[in-house]
Structure 1
Amino acid sequence: MLTPGLLYFLIYKYVPMWGVLIAFQDYQPFLGFFKSSWVGFKHFETFFSDETFWMLFRNTFVLAIYNILFFFPLPIIISLMLNEVRKEMFKRLIQTLIYIPHFVSWVVVVGISFLFFSKEGGIFNTMLVSLGKEPVNFLLSADWFRTIITSQVIWKETGWGTIIFLAALAGVDPQLYEAAKIDGAGRWRQMWHITLPAIRSTIVILLILRIGTFLDTGFEQIFLMVNPLNRQVGEVFDTFVYSTGISQGKFSYSTAVGMFKSMIGLILVVVANRLAKRFGEDGIY
């Protein structure tokens, strides 16, 4: 039963790792891996000395912080709220409604954003004009870019993120709540002393995994939202790898950039896992 899963990871995850070798080469497609000349850490040195590096790092870091602060807690909060709903039909209806956006592609999400935020005919600007205010060019504004990106992630993925937490909540022993009621604990006390401690390990594991993808802000969403007027705050590692590696044909240079991002993610996972164990949690390994 494990064979299909193992083959998937072997073929699509581990075998392609051979390609990171071109980060240390002046890779030429017609020469291949073995005949392309080796240049050592030349591409890394070029990238770190380029002023673009700090722009990419800043943009990616800020978006990642936004996701941790504003997106990560929401599935936990909504799961706790849904856990308090006693009418099963109403609970399932809410779950279905908040799951649906996950299955909507980023292309559609960005299209919806254009309908809401475009300067000409956008819903928000139409409301602003009706209130006697000047329209705001949300989509071309560098000041609004990160807010819109984070809002899109929250709308699309918050509901889907509640699945794991609701599954963890389903495993809480009901007798604990009954004992708490006998001791006079209200709903808030039960949530604080029973519910949250019961899912603490799940929260820690998911936080570690989220930190591991700290610099992975998502290519498709950013690529569709970036334009020349907000590129200074919108260009991230993922879009830079695409524009440099695919559009400009700098395969070795873009591979070095991607490898740097992956190494940072690995380091963050190790550090977060050790911190989790130091605070008494199991971690992920």
Structure 2
Amino acid sequence: MSNLGMWLAANRTAAYPAKRRLSSGQKTLIAMAVPCVIALVLFSYLPLLGWSIAFFHYKPGLRLFETGFAGFKYFRMAFNDPEILPVLRNTLMMSFMGLLVSPLAVIFAIFLQELRSKKLQKFIQTTTTLPNFISWVLVYAICYFMLSSGDGLVNKLLLQLHIIERPLNPLANPDIVWIFQTAISVWKGLGFAAIVYIAAIVGIDQDQYDAAAVDGAGRFGKIRHITVPGLIPTFITLLLLNIGSLLNNGFEQYYLFNNGLVQSNIQVLDLYVYRIGITQNNFPMSTAIGMTKTLVSIALLMTANTLSRKLRDQSIF
């Protein structure tokens, strides 16, 4: 083959590289991901078509385009509702208190990893993770059994010991509802939240601890200079996700613990949307509020992610 022919063949190969075929392992991973993608589309993206309800005078049983176009009427109704400000106050306060106690999961994970007894470590981790798998219905039943003002076990015990003169009623005390609900959330989710940080601690290079020991660092020195810096990227990532969820407190917990005495301080945005949509049968307004909440959450997440990228050169996307 002449030099010209060799040059043409080489350039043809560079311009049109051979197609890379997927290995059997890659095909298996793609096949395993397909059901997850389908579920994501069906249950996360397809329901977004329901946002169109917010722009119509929708009534159950009627076709959407037969109900009449409403424009932004229900958005204006939502923003002009006198209840929306107290609801936003409750939502943001619950979320901010959740952010304040988020370092407890880091502290708890470090505490577990520093235990010398592996049996005790596994026992504590198991018992603290178990409440995460208990339904909120059962959690409320336990709280009612323990803390109710009438037959609550705690009240009976404290009264018999003459520690209190009259029964306590934290389930119906509006002054402590934010603290009380945050404490319950911590009890239920602390062990499960610590799993992520435990995995991050295990992933830290053990050679760093060995080098610190050679340099004379003690247990607290290793925690301060190795463990905590190693957990900061994970903590920042989860914090960014929590900031994006400031308006998403959940529904079950506040629905079950809600009563007439604490409703003014426990009614968060998700509970308010349920009451407007299901109880008052105002589906367009509840959809408008839910749609606005989602868009604001996305904006908060994008803003927090941008600030984190500029300040710490770390972001989640």
In structure 2, which of residues 207, 210, 216 is the aligned counterpart of residue 175 of structure 1? 207
C-alpha distance in 2 between matches for 1:6 and 1:34 = 31
SS at match of 1:26: coil
For 1:262, the equivalent position in structure 2 comes to 294
Change (3 A) 1:93 1:136: closer
- Offset of residue 46 of structure 1: 1.1
Give the whole-Å Cα distance in 1 for the aligned partners of 2:111 and 2:280. 49
Kindly report which structure 2 residues correspond to 1:206-221, keeping only aligned pairs within 5 A, or say none.
Answer: 206-221=238-253
1:102-121: CA deviation from partner (whole Å, max 9, x where unpaired): 11100000111111211112
For 2:152, the equivalent position in structure 1 comes to: 122
CA distance in structure 1 between the aligned counterparts of 2:293 and 2:137, rounded to whole angstroms: 25
Structure 2 counterpart of 1:96: 126
Normalised by the length of structure 2, the TM-score is 0.86
User: How many angstroms apart in 2 are the aligned matches of 1:120 and 1:104?
Assistant: 25
* 1:216-244 per-position Cα deviation (integer Å, ceiling 9, x unaligned): 11101100111111111011111111111
The answer to whether the Cα contact below 8 Å between 1:201 and 1:281 also exists between their aligned partners in 2 is no
Aligned with 2:41 (options 3, 7, 10): 10
Task: Please state how far the C-alpha of 1:159 moved relative to its aligned partner.
Answer: 0.3
Which residue in 2 is equivalent to 1:63? Answer: 94
TM-score, scaled relative to structure 1:
0.95
- Aligned match of 1:86: 116
Bigger shift: 23-32 or 202-211? Answer: 23-32
Query: Post-superposition shift, 1:142?
Result: 0.6
How far apart are residue 141 of structure 1 and its match? Answer: 1.4
Structure 1: tracts of 5 or more residues without a match: none
Return the alpha-carbon distance in structure 2 between the equivalents of residues 156 and 80 of structure 1: 19
Root-mean-square deviation (Å):
1.3
Letter in 2 for 1:96: T
Q: Return the alpha-carbon distance in structure 2 between the equivalents of residues 124 and 177 of structure 1.
A: 45
SS at match of 2:175: helix
Asked whether the 8 Å contact 1:24–1:41 carries over to 2, the reply is: yes
Are residue 278 (structure 1) and residue 315 (structure 2) matched? no
Q: Which amino acid aligns with 1:82?
A: L
C-alpha distance 281-188 of structure 1, shift in aligned 2 (>3 A): farther
> How far, CA to CA, are the matches of 1:56 and 1:208 in structure 2?
23
CA contact (8 A) 1:244 1:250 kept: yes
Asked whether the 8 Å contact 1:63–1:150 carries over to 2, the reply is yes
Deviation of 1:147 after TM superposition, in Å, equals 2.1
* Residue type at the aligned position of 2:217: A
**Structure 2 unmatched ranges of 5 or more:** 1-31
User: Match for residue 109 of structure 1?
Assistant: 139
Structure 1 runs (4+) deviating above 3 angstroms are none
Other-structure match for 2:9: none
Q: 2:255 aligned to 223, 244, 257, which one?
A: 223
- Find out whether 1:38 has 2:55 as its counterpart: no
| Identity among equivalent pairs (%) | 35
Number of aligned residue pairs: give it: 284
Shift of 1:79: 0.4
* CA distance in 2: counterparts of 1:211 and 1:200, whole angstroms: 16
